[in-house]
Structure 1
Amino acid sequence: MELRVMSFNLRYNNAGDGANAWPHRIEKVVRTIRRYDPLLIGTQEGLIGMLTDLDKRLPEYGRLGMGRLGGTEGEFNAIFYKKSELAVIDFGQFWLSDAPEVPASVGWDADLPRVCTSGRFRHRATGRELYFFNTHLDHRGREARVQGSRLVGRRIDEARAEEELPLILTGDFNCHPSHEPVRYLRGEAEERMATRLADAYGALPDGRAGLTAHDFRGGAEGEPIDYIFVTEECVVRSVEVVRDVVDGGYPSDHYPIVASLRIR
């Protein structure tokens, strides 16, 4: 089974961004998604108005997830999926806190509520099933990033213990590759997950992705904070940090990440 997945921090709709505010970027985002044609997209920072804008322009995609304040309130970690190719078997959302089932709960030293959205999908053509998790760790709280990544890891282990299906994790981790949350997810920290995850950037010739959060300035010098992780059933055939300029500007202040996978 071959598929393409994307992680895409959309940048919330902030009028202070001026020419880079959401109304001026909607079509850039749509064109980028259509160009790379992913089967699944893990998005971050989408507000309900932004997501409904995408629903209208990308009717081939369904959407999972709720706002981090509950219901339609606050930013989403929405998952978009191709409806004609994938059937939703189950989905859920939890908050990165000591009370993960409580909407709007804030964990540890986090500045804001943070969530992880997950779905279980069946590929209509092959009958293969897979899990897809999508998250966004806190931008300020170091302990929140560490503990949030561990909570995501435990939930991944629980899902895989129930049924050992291929699993993909996308997100904005607000961490560089050498930081503890990313090392934990790669199985390099002292505490280990039962599930083995690989960083898709390992498919790059030198393993170095470069900058992914660029504040609408572009450039590649630096380190990533956006990632795609996969279980061992997923072979990463290629991965790309999409630095395309679209109609004279960038679709977001983060570059989307696209990985082409083969599921064994």
Structure 2
Amino acid sequence: MSTANDAAGRVRILTWNVWWRFGDWRARREVLLDVIRDADPDVVGLQEVWGFADPADPEDNLAWWLADRLGYRWEFSASSAPHRWQNRLRLTGEDADAADRIADIEFGNAVLSRHPLRDKHIERLSGGHRDDEGRTALQVTVDLPTGSLPFTTTHLNSAPYDSAVRHRQLGEVVRLVAGEGRRPGYPPVLTGDFNAVPESDEVRYACGYLTPGPVRDFVLLDAWRFAEPGDPGLTWNRRNPFVARVHQPSARIDYVLVGLAPFSGEGSVLGAHLVGTEPVDGIWPSDHAAIVVDLRA
């Protein structure tokens, strides 16, 4: 757990794909809560967040449940096409308790923050050449004690053959981020599960650092460049049994991208590391690990 002295002079960001309502989601959400609480972030971007349309109970949204216990604010953006995930629950019977409500379970992104949130905006992203998966980017402004932080989280198409779709989606997201990034305040932060490795065309394009990006004179730095040298940052790791069963290689597919900091240094990256990389009492919190990034306040 971070101490008050540890937290001085930094803004801590966490991003995590929390694996919707798959597996033993009740046990997993308790571990998710513990890991997030121990990481002590100021702002959290979450992907694969579940919630119910027209919930009968406020606890019928994972973002609300986590925010309530952390004492944080929260915002949520639902996919317009959650059918792929709902169908998986029907086929596997993984969530028998919700069998009669599966059609009402939403799939989306969320932001949690210990500081006030405003200016919520949901950007609907382009669909694939097959089915539109209803992907979104959720953008908010975080009112930190030391200034305003433009913060966006997103989750892109996952199919290995959808690189071109992700390229288009990231172009849309970065243009959104760049618009906020030109305002006074902290450099903008973009988090999310891009479902793409760092050397992919779409990630290089989004950063605009190794190749021209979607917005002229606008660059986003991959915060993992400031992690311990040699650490691959595998957020999708075959050590996790939920990953091993998919028969794909370990990879870094989750990101915190940060706008270029001014010479004064506010918003510059101080370091990055992973959390949620081990089971707790035999329970893996998600099929992804989470990234924690510290920015200079």
Answer whether TM exceeds 0.5 for this pair. Answer: yes
1:38 aligns with 2:38: no
Aligned CA distance change for structure 1 residues 62 and 164 (closer, same or farther; 3 Å): closer
Q: What displacement does 1:108 show?
A: 4.6
Query: Which residues of structure 2 form unaligned runs of 5+?
Result: 1-8, 52-59, 82-103, 244-248, 262-266
Residue 152 of structure 2 aligns with an amino acid whose one-letter code is F
Residue 37 of structure 1 aligns with an amino acid whose one-letter code is D
Segment of structure 1 superposing worse, 86-95 or 195-204: 86-95
TM-score w.r.t. length of structure 2: 0.75
Counterparts of 1:173 and 1:110, CA distance in 2: 18
Q: How does 1:1-264 map to 2 (within 5 A)?
A: 1-14=9-22, 17=23, 21-48=24-51, 49=60, 50-58=62-70, 60-69=71-80, 74-82=106-114, 86-97=115-126, 106-109=127-130, 112-124=133-145, 126=146, 128-140=147-159, 141-163=162-184, 165-187=186-208, 188-193=210-215, 194-206=217-229, 208-214=231-237, 216-217=240-241, 222-233=250-261, 234-242=267-275, 243-263=277-297
Question: Is the radius of gyration larger for structure 1 or structure 2?
Answer: 2
TM-score w.r.t. length of structure 1: 0.83
Q: What displacement does 1:153 show?
A: 1.0
Deviations 1:219-239 (A, max 9, x none): 9x8320011111122221111
Secondary structure class of the residue paired with 1:156: helix
CA contact (8 A) 1:111 1:139 kept: no
Q: What displacement does 1:160 show?
A: 2.5
Secondary structure class of the residue paired with 2:74: strand
Deviations 1:54-103 (A, max 9, x none): 24432x11111221129x86212100000xxx222311111112xxxxxx
Deviations 1:201-230 (A, max 9, x none): 1012436434212363289x8320011111
Aligned CA distance change for structure 1 residues 165 and 73 (closer, same or farther; 3 Å): farther
Deviations 1:146-174 (A, max 9, x none): 10000011111222245564211110000
Q: In percent, how many aligned pairs have the same letter?
A: 29
Deviations 1:89-146 (A, max 9, x none): 311111112xxxxxxxx3555651100001112213x3x1110000001002222101
Segment of structure 1 superposing worse, 30-39 or 206-215: 206-215
Residue 176 of structure 1 aligns with an amino acid whose one-letter code is V
Residue 24 of structure 1 aligns with an amino acid whose one-letter code is A
Q: What displacement does 1:24 show?
A: 1.7
Query: Which residues of structure 1 form unaligned runs of 5+?
Result: 98-105
The structure with the greater share of residues assigned to helix is 2
Q: What displacement does 1:252 show?
A: 0.6
CA contact (8 A) 2:29 2:285 kept: yes
Secondary structure class of the residue paired with 2:256: strand
Deviations 1:26-69 (A, max 9, x none): 110010011001000000001113233324432x1111122112
Residue 189 of structure 1 aligns with an amino acid whose one-letter code is T
Secondary structure class of the residue paired with 2:78: coil
CA contact (8 A) 1:209 1:241 kept: no
Counterparts of 1:110 and 1:143, CA distance in 2: 14
Q: What displacement does 1:192 show?
A: 4.3
Counterparts of 1:131 and 1:254, CA distance in 2: 25
Question: How many residue pairs end up in the alignment?
Answer: 243
Segment of structure 1 superposing worse, 182-191 or 60-69: 182-191
